[in-house]
Structure 1
Amino acid sequence: MRRISLKIFFFLNCLTYGFIALYVLINYLFLENYQISLKKNEITALAETYSSQNYEKISEISEQNAIFIKEVSLKKDRRTSKYHFMKTIEDNLIKNVKEGKTVINIEVGRDNIKRIILAKKLNEDNMLLVTTSIAPISDVIKSTLKFFIYIIFLSIPINLYIAYKLSIRMGKPIESELLELNSQLKSELQKQKKSELFRKNFISNVTHELKTPVAIINGYSEAILDGIIDLEEIPDICKNINQEASNMNSLIQELLFYCKMESGYISIKNESINLKNMLQNILKRYSIEFKLNSINLNINLENVEIMSDKKLLERSLNNLIINALAYVDDKKNISIILNKTEIIIKNSSDNLKNENFEEYFKPFSKKNDKKLRKYGGTGLGLSVVSEILKNLNLFYEFYYDNETKTVIFKILLKGAENEKISINDFTHK
């Protein structure tokens, strides 16, 4: 039995026997007094309804309930009455009754039996005497308690068995749920640790990225102020300062955009987009770079329209084409394919078999690589692409094809909901 089931077992037994013990204690302490109180109320009600005219009827009914009723003389010869059997009844009782009071007491008779006695004045000569024995009440209560205790001892094995079965039945789902919650908690803690580590690295990388242009700008400006730079060199240096400031501004804007996307604070528009025209416009933007780098460009574009956010989707496609252009190998092969179900952007590349593809989607994963800087990259390319596609509810695949020696990025346009691919999944082929 597991620990939770064992605790439930002990709890059920403690609860059961606790209630039983409380029941026995209450009966032992209060049941007899309660029954006596009921009897007192019964004989009091009987005395109130009594009259000489209905004596025979009331007497017959009361005797069936072991209550005896009798008119007793208040005269001097009252001691000869056969009903004067109490040890201490005479003086106080007679005195109070003569004063018109109704007296009800528990007295012990000469036979040592406890009785409830009620005395009430009827007239100047007679009083009403009502008595009932409380011995049967005590005996019944004691017998009941003994019987109940025997039943308790006999029921212990049955109770233990029922408690055991219930604890097993109740414990298993609780244990299962707790294990699941514990697993989820561990998973959340791991995610939190990774998130914390990511944030620390992110801040460190941002600091590093900003440190270089700041240092360059600071160095140039100090050189100009100190008069180290010749006058004819100042325009070129100012251009460099302006370029570094522009790079810093681009980085800061990209960081702000990335943070907004990650936090979900970007408003998404839903508009009709002709993907063929969009890709053609992006390719025209880099047509000179394709020629200067002797890129073997393979373009196969169908006429496809979708509903999405035009600016965001164009930004992600622009980043993907920049990456393909920046990291193409000496074979210089880049392919852009569009059909009704997917957009494929691939470039020839060295063997990436042992690469951790998830790293490419982390900010500044290629922070020391200057290739992207040539095309205005900030080191946030694929991380921005991932967040954009996530917000646009578009699934993607990113992997290396060993047969063709190409890096492939696919954006799924149709039937993505049937694919077993998450926004943050990376498929390696």
Structure 2
Amino acid sequence: MKIRWKIFFIMWSMVMMMIGGFAITNTVYLEKFYIANKKDKLIQVGKVIADPNYIVDFRNLEIQNNAEITIKKIDQLERFVYKKQLIESDIEEIKESLKEEEPIFKTLNYEDYRGRVLVLFMPYRSDRYLEINTPLSLIQEGLELSIKYHVQIIILAFIIGSSMAFIFSKTMVTPILELKEITQKISKLDFSRKFEDMRKDEIGELGEAINLMGKTLEKNIDEINKANIKLTEDIEKEKKIDKLRKEFVACVSHELKTPIAIIQGYAQGLMENVANEEDRNFYCEVIIDESYKMDSLVKELLLISQIEAGYFKMNMEEVNIYELIKDLIEKYSTKTRKVNFSGEKNIFVMCDEKYIDRVLDNLIVNAIKYSSGEEDVEVKVEKIEKKCRITVINESEYLTVKDLETIWNPFVRLDSAIGKEGHGLGLAIVAGILENHKSQYGVYISEKNHVNFWFELNII
């Protein structure tokens, strides 16, 4: 088949698709449009009647809008139930809309000449409402007339479109122009464009050859780029690992140095008998306290190592998240700083109860520890689609947006944490636990210096 005729049939098919779409639109969506427009007009009529500034001519409005307008008491709505035109739930819905001063539409079937009717129920006075109805048969007649008119338009469009397709097919050589554009893009190393026309003529063979050439060039260039990216990533990763290793060793050494020095000093004092009986007890208490701190630090380091090494094991089970939060609220609420709960209380999530309890414990303790001002700490629970989002909120004037960039890293301690107990590992452990739960988490600062730590769990 010649290119000219192929172009003609392509354009003719496009014209047919447009005509078909136009026909479908008229048969499917025209009625919805017509009824929506009618509803808007009825609402405007109702607003005019309800406005005390207008002198209303009911008869004139009825004639202009092909409608019947009546003012009735709300108690008269029950008659629709008796006539089996509406059910109790429909009546309750209408009453609720009237109570909220909102108009509502219903479609009713009358056994008289009116047949199927569109009815607008609109609030009027305290115990009354407007009832405006218009027969749908009139709308159907208008639709039929509109469809007949559009059928003529479609036939005319078909004749004109076919003629234009025949004329343009003689002069348009789209495939050749397409091949030209493809080769120009290839010359600029842009291989996104392909010749996809399944032709059996010479142009089809040329297009296939160009596609093969572009595919081969793209593959070779992609392989080179991937190799370069991989090499760059490996270098950056090695640098980052080396930096983290040095920082980790330095941080651990720093955290262990102080308690070890204290233990050595007091143990030396005990060994040399430089203290009396009372001081010896004090020395022993200091040594025990510092050993507990070292034990806590080592355990946190082991947990982080397990998380990073992939040896972190979890026992997933069904948990009522409110029960975990309630226990922690009772544990940490004091007269000076309370922990309040807001949100839903009956949400069951799938998680490891022990570790999520640790996450909540850490976030609540941090919120209490670093709160400024007199506001209480709040724990909020909310449903977001199939997720349960838990947010711990406290007021803090010390934390800045810049601090949020590194707050989840190990051994990061902000200026506000100076003088407070801790090793800077808590939030790193929280992040590791939540990542193993495949949970989304984060932190942001809202109005009035409110710090919001949040995470999500899957709802059962």
Q: TM-score range by the shorter chain?
A: 0.5 to 0.7
Amino acid across the alignment from 2:267: S
Question: Is 1:392 matched with 2:392?
Answer: no
2:426 corresponds to which of 381, 388, 395: 381
- Kept in 1: contact 2:378–2:392 (CA 8 A): yes
1:366 corresponds to which of 407, 413, 417: 413
Residue in 1 that maps onto 2:457:
413
- Kept in 2: contact 1:272–1:307 (CA 8 A): yes
Aligned length: 249
Amino acid across the alignment from 1:400: I
Matches within 5 A, 1:61-76: none
What is the CA–CA distance in structure 1 between the aligned matches of 2:215 and 2:323, rounded to whole Å?
Answer: 64
Question: Is 1:310 matched with 2:353?
Answer: yes
Shift >6 Å, 4+ stretches: 163-168
- Kept in 1: contact 2:443–2:452 (CA 8 A): yes
What is the CA–CA distance in structure 2 between the aligned matches of 1:169 and 1:267, rounded to whole Å?
Answer: 46
Deviation at residue 297 of structure 1 after TM alignment: 3.5
2:228 corresponds to which of 182, 188, 194: 182
Residue in 2 that maps onto 1:350:
397
Indicate the percent of aligned positions where both proteins have the same amino acid: 32
3-state DSSP of counterpart to 2:349: strand
Residue in 2 that maps onto 1:145:
none
Residue in 2 that maps onto 1:299:
341
Question: Highest Rg: 1 or 2?
Answer: 1
What is the CA–CA distance in structure 1 between the aligned matches of 2:392 and 2:229, rounded to whole Å?
Answer: 39
What is the CA–CA distance in structure 1 between the aligned matches of 2:458 and 2:351, rounded to whole Å?
Answer: 13
Amino acid across the alignment from 1:207: S
1:250 corresponds to which of 296, 302, 307: 296
- Kept in 1: contact 2:316–2:351 (CA 8 A): yes
What is the CA–CA distance in structure 2 between the aligned matches of 1:229 and 1:210, rounded to whole Å?
Answer: 25
- Kept in 2: contact 1:372–1:379 (CA 8 A): no
- CA separation of 1:165 and 1:261: change in aligned 2, threshold 3 A: closer
Deviation at residue 387 of structure 1 after TM alignment: 0.2
Cα deviation code 1:265-287 (max 9, x no counterpart): 02111111111110111122223
Deviation at residue 243 of structure 1 after TM alignment: 0.4
What is the CA–CA distance in structure 1 between the aligned matches of 2:266 and 2:398, rounded to whole Å?
Answer: 41
Deviation at residue 414 of structure 1 after TM alignment: 4.7
Deviation at residue 186 of structure 1 after TM alignment: 1.6
Question: Is 1:214 matched with 2:260?
Answer: yes
3-state DSSP of counterpart to 2:413: coil
Question: Is 1:283 matched with 2:329?
Answer: yes
3-state DSSP of counterpart to 1:216: helix
What is the CA–CA distance in structure 2 between the aligned matches of 1:385 and 1:165, rounded to whole Å?
Answer: 51
Residue in 2 that maps onto 1:322:
365
What is the CA–CA distance in structure 1 between the aligned matches of 2:326 and 2:317, rounded to whole Å?
Answer: 19
3-state DSSP of counterpart to 1:360: coil
Deviation at residue 240 of structure 1 after TM alignment: 0.9
Residue in 2 that maps onto 1:333:
376
- Kept in 2: contact 1:299–1:335 (CA 8 A): yes
- CA separation of 1:334 and 1:367: change in aligned 2, threshold 3 A: closer
Cα deviation code 1:400-429 (max 9, x no counterpart): 12x2311111112359xxxxxxxxxxxxxx
Amino acid across the alignment from 2:376: N
Amino acid across the alignment from 1:357: L
- Kept in 2: contact 1:205–1:364 (CA 8 A): yes
What is the CA–CA distance in structure 2 between the aligned matches of 1:224 and 1:263, rounded to whole Å?
Answer: 41
Residue in 2 that maps onto 1:266:
312
3-state DSSP of counterpart to 1:385: helix
Question: Is 1:202 matched with 2:248?
Answer: yes
Gaps of 5+ in 1: 6-162, 416-429
Cα deviation code 1:225-268 (max 9, x no counterpart): 22322222111111111000011011101110111012120211
Gaps of 5+ in 2: 1-186, 188-208
Amino acid across the alignment from 1:310: E
- CA separation of 1:351 and 1:209: change in aligned 2, threshold 3 A: closer
Cα deviation code 1:134-172 (max 9, x no counterpart): xxxxxxxxxxxxxxxxxxxxxxxxxxxxx9998776333
Deviation at residue 191 of structure 1 after TM alignment: 2.9
- Kept in 2: contact 1:278–1:314 (CA 8 A): yes
For normalisation by structure 2, the TM-score amounts to: 0.50
- Kept in 1: contact 2:350–2:458 (CA 8 A): no
What is the CA–CA distance in structure 1 between the aligned matches of 2:265 and 2:294, rounded to whole Å?
Answer: 16
Deviation at residue 322 of structure 1 after TM alignment: 1.2
For normalisation by structure 1, the TM-score amounts to: 0.53
Deviation at residue 195 of structure 1 after TM alignment: 2.4
Amino acid across the alignment from 1:295: R
- Kept in 1: contact 2:320–2:348 (CA 8 A): yes
Residue in 2 that maps onto 1:87:
none
What is the CA–CA distance in structure 1 between the aligned matches of 2:305 and 2:420, rounded to whole Å?
Answer: 21
